[in-house]
Amino acid sequence: NNYIETQMEESGIGDIVISSIYAKDEELNTTRVNLEERSKFALKKKEEDEGVLQTDVNSLFSEIQEWSKTNNADIKVEYKEVENGPGYYIVESSNAEGQTYFQQKLNTVANRANNLSKAYKNTQSNLMTQWNSWQSSMDEKNNTLDNLEGAAVKDYEWNKILGKDLGHSFENMLLD
């Protein structure tokens, strides 16, 4: 389990058990409820984590601006994106100490954001797999019930069936 899934379990949300067509309706309903709770939790937690990250970034940029004014130092911040990997910040400043300090702080936030992004993508993938499995179990169960119902309502009185078929054959001959 990743960071988010561990928090789900710690908050008391039930784990997901892969269902089958032989699962009882109660088990399938419990799985559905747990999936709904996990989905809601993940969305709520994502909003919270995004808020914390945004607050951290805003605070850090305010600190950079204040530091620049206080120390009369020029500072330039640039974000470099890396394809298929985490991006990073480059800080240029006339003050080497400030440059190193802020570059490390910004990259710490960028790394945390990247790790959270990976965790949420993994959680999203897991939830989609679990939802699809649950839906498949429901579909299989419904198809089985449809087949059983079809078998239950089928007319097994062969004499009547043959009589109807023969009767229809004669009707068709008379109409021609």
- Over the stretch 40-81, which tens digit does the pLDDT of each residue have? 888 899 899 999 999 998 999 999 999 999 999 899 999 998
Contacts of 144 (CB under 8 A, 6+ apart): 21
- Over the stretch 11-22, which tens digit does the pLDDT of each residue have? 776 666 555 545
List, in sequence order, every beta strand (DSSP E) within 13-171.
75-82, 85-93
- The tokens 């429901």 sit on which residue? 138
Which pLDDT score, from 0 to 100, does residue 15 have?
A: 64
- Over the stretch 149-170, which tens digit does the pLDDT of each residue have? 544 444 545 555 555 555 455 4
Which pLDDT score, from 0 to 100, does residue 166 have?
A: 53
Task: Look at the pTM and tell me if it is higher than 0.75.
Answer: no
